[in-house]
Structure 1
Amino acid sequence: MDEGRSEPTVKQRRGAVSLLLAMVLLGVFPLDVLLPSFPALAEHFRSTPADIALSISLFAVGIAASQLLIGPLSDVIGRKGLLLAGIAVSMLGAVGCILTTDYVHFLLFRVIQALGCGCFVLSQALVQDLFKGEERDRLRILMVTATGIFISVSPLAGTFLQATLDWQGSFWVFIALAAIVLLKACFILENTRPTTTGARPNIFLPYRQVLCDFDFLSYWLISAFAFACHFSFIVISPLIFMDQLQLSAYDFSIILLVYGGAYIVGGSVAIVLGRYMSPGHQIISGLSLILLSGLIMLYLLSHFALSAATVLVPMLVCTAGTTIVRPAATSKAMSLFPENAGTSASAGSTVIFICGGLISALISLSPANLQSTLGYSFIILSGVALVLNSHINSRAKSLGVSPSVE
């Protein structure tokens, strides 16, 4: 991004890694950690849990809207200032959520918090700016692994915070974590500037360039379909484990904790594969595991009664595949437009967000058996992703370019 920027030292890179992981945490923390507090929030604001769920939807919309602006803007004015401003806005929104006693005002402050949290999309752009080659790929694997772990642990953390600090606890913890990240960003990041000196007439113009590129969009769709498999399970898991199997909230949290372990295993496997396989082959391997998980889920459904094991076993396989696919596909996509890393990250994150949200909504609203719908979805999504990857390779061969290079 900045031609005059010096290469970061080992100490700076380690600091950057810790900063990026903290950004990943703050990107998922405000969503899942609040789920156990729905009844308390409904009582406090004299509303219903369904109304409180609206705050989650508005939060997601706020992040999506914010990151569409933050990504390309960061390519023009730099990353650091936008990141610091976004964190400050998110903290302001969280404070407002704590202090207000009106439900409408709570929704407003929740949106303000989300608009600030949109800055965390810059984590992918910062990876592109600060790291190279295999180190960059390993870091993306680590970030995907951390995302899954944080999502899986959040409900358990939310249960603890609700029991000890009431619903305000999750917001206080968010503010504390955000303050730490703000300080780390101040000291670790440089005041980078864009390589071009002339002002762009339209900061959204790069979106047209990246989204019209077949390979770029295909790689992000592959990553999005893999993420949708994981996200769909997270969305419908309360319906399966708590409604159908009648497990307690604590038991449900423990199951998700075990599920998070699959991200550690998958991340370790992905790091090993990265030493021996090209990104293209990693994508095929990961998608094949997701396809296999769908087949296993359907087999267990047809031969055994519904239980935690019949759902969790195939999901462990699926998650390992997801952890292998997403970093490889993301690295391939981000390498296509390194001069517009912010725009690329925002465009890709939006694609992932839209696919994950729509697909999980369709699965959760399915009138058929949730487990069978989930299994068929894994097969279809991984199959389409494999076709996209094959088409990318065919196009590369026809142009005389090796798809596995990088």
Structure 2
Amino acid sequence: MNEGTVAATARQRRGAVGLLLAMVLLGVFPLDVLLPSFPALAEHFRRTPTDIALSISVFAVGIAFSQLLIGPLSDVIGRKCLLLAGIAVSILGAVGCLLSRDYALFLAFRVVQAAGCGCFVLSQALVQDLFDGEERDRLRILMVTAGGLFISVSPLAGTLLQSAFGWRASFWAFAALASVVLLKAGLFLPGGRPAAAGAPAHFLLTYRRVLGDFDFLGYWLISAFAFACHFSFIVISPLIFMDRLQLSAYEFSLVLLVYGAAYVLGGIVATVLSRRITPARQISAGLGLILLAGLALLCLPSGFALTPATVLVPMLICTAGTTIVRPAATSRAMDLYPEHAGTSASAGSTLVFICGGAISALISLSPADLQPTLGGCFLILGGVALGLNARINRRAAGLRHGTVAQPGRD
């Protein structure tokens, strides 16, 4: 390979990483940039802040269901055309939201935007297509870490947009960013069908196959439960910091900016652990931190008054755990069916968003205090995830010793 070819390959890989990170940004931006605008949205649509929080959960569930079709279709007709179509639909939904005057119409266009944003699930399939081995694992850690940083920075961006132009500005910003990514994907990604493309009519059978695999389902549920802990806090954080603690939108955005430090720390620890211990132990270590955060959320209210610190410190611990767990669990799940990367990514990501949306909605609507409810949720989800990880490890040991039948993974 000559120097020109090496340089071209390096540029292509940097271009691929840049596109994937942009997709991660657009995947979280519509959720988090609106958090500081909760009071303005509630006033504009004459609704309660709880109603506005529920719209975030509805958005997450909308993404989840759109992914069910996008992933399998991408295995058949290719990633590029579906990604471009999805981005275009998401822009249409965003423009509809900023023009809405009725809350029901606003929710309808949020669902349209969510349906388009479902195309960003293809980031996992593209990682599987374009990278191998340790490079693939490191990129997934980078994507989770970057996603956390974007989540932390988005509320500050939302605050600046809200104070300067009002809540509609966040939708204009999304439309502008999405237009840039649309152009980049159109220029960068190759067209054509994947090498392992199958028949469209078989996608239900493929879903049945991957979801019938205990290890595949177990790994994605572990990732989903870890995500649900993080996402539940994100959804209810305006209710705690802005409604109960009376922080301004700017103060709230600064609090979440500190939250980003946990993603950086978790990403560094995950990178180190991936080189030193097995994925199973990495998952267990991260889940241990989530359990510790749950205990802290339950115990701190009995000895301390509600302050930003008593909420934020446990959440920093939880977020570090989430950043350690998710890349390891996701990589193990995606490696099981590389020939069906789109379907695998859609099936898993749908579980992730359904769990995050449903659990966050239940917590936000809970009549009990949000802090202990969140802590109890962490303990339950972390405990179940630890049980799943232990069961998968026992099955793996059984396979090595011939006491468990090998599942069919052609």
Question: TM-score scaled by structure 1?
Answer: 0.90
Contact 2:226 2:322 in 1 (8 A): yes
1:177-326 equivalences in 2 (<5 Å): 177-196=177-196, 199-326=199-326
Aligned length: 397
Shift in alpha-carbon separation, 1:370–1:39, aligned structure 2, 3 A: closer
**Paired letter, 1:245:** L
Distance of 1:321 and 1:179 partners within structure 2: 34
Unaligned stretches of 5+ in structure 2?
1-7, 403-410
Moved more, 80-89 or 69-78: 80-89
**Paired letter, 2:342:** G
Question: 1:151 maps to what in 2?
Answer: 151
Contact 2:53 2:364 in 1 (8 A): no
- State yes or no: 1:354 paired with 2:360: no
Question: TM-score scaled by structure 2?
Answer: 0.89
Shift in alpha-carbon separation, 1:163–1:398, aligned structure 2, 3 A: same
Contact 1:236 1:364 in 2 (8 A): yes
Shift in alpha-carbon separation, 1:91–1:197, aligned structure 2, 3 A: closer
Cα offset for 1:143? 1.0
Cα offset for 1:173? 1.0
**Paired letter, 1:253:** S
Shift in alpha-carbon separation, 1:284–1:355, aligned structure 2, 3 A: same
Moved more, 183-192 or 365-374: 365-374
Q: C-alpha offsets along residues 137-177 of structure 1, whole Å, 9 cap, x if unaligned?
A: 11111111122222222222111111212222112211111
CA RMSD of aligned residues (A): 2.5
Question: 1:5 maps to what in 2?
Answer: none
1:325-404 equivalences in 2 (<5 Å): 325-400=325-400
Cα offset for 1:339? 0.7
Contact 1:76 1:203 in 2 (8 A): no
Distance of 2:284 and 2:51 partners within structure 1: 42
Shift in alpha-carbon separation, 1:48–1:247, aligned structure 2, 3 A: closer
1:10-25 equivalences in 2 (<5 Å): 10-25=10-25
Question: 2:109 maps to what in 1?
Answer: 109
Question: 1:164 maps to what in 2?
Answer: 164
Question: 2:79 maps to what in 1?
Answer: 79
Cα offset for 1:249? 2.1
Distance of 1:256 and 1:349 partners within structure 2: 24
1:93-104 equivalences in 2 (<5 Å): 93-99=93-99
Shift in alpha-carbon separation, 1:369–1:41, aligned structure 2, 3 A: closer
Shift in alpha-carbon separation, 1:378–1:32, aligned structure 2, 3 A: same
Cα offset for 1:125? 0.6
Unaligned stretches of 5+ in structure 1?
1-7
**Paired letter, 1:286:** G
Q: Percent identity, aligned pairs only?
A: 75
Contact 2:49 2:239 in 1 (8 A): no
Moved more, 108-117 or 98-107: 98-107
Q: C-alpha offsets along residues 299-322 of structure 1, whole Å, 9 cap, x if unaligned?
A: 433332222222211211111111
Q: C-alpha offsets along residues 197-248 of structure 1, whole Å, 9 cap, x if unaligned?
A: 6634232321111111100010011111111111121122223222332322
Contact 2:50 2:365 in 1 (8 A): no
Shift in alpha-carbon separation, 1:41–1:247, aligned structure 2, 3 A: closer
Shift in alpha-carbon separation, 1:259–1:49, aligned structure 2, 3 A: closer
Moved more, 328-337 or 176-185: 176-185
Question: 2:119 maps to what in 1?
Answer: 119
**Paired letter, 1:369:** D
Q: Secondary structure at the match of 1:70?
A: helix
Q: C-alpha offsets along residues 355-395 of structure 1, whole Å, 9 cap, x if unaligned?
A: 11222233333333322222222222212111111110111
Moved more, 183-192 or 236-245: 236-245
**Paired letter, 2:373:** T
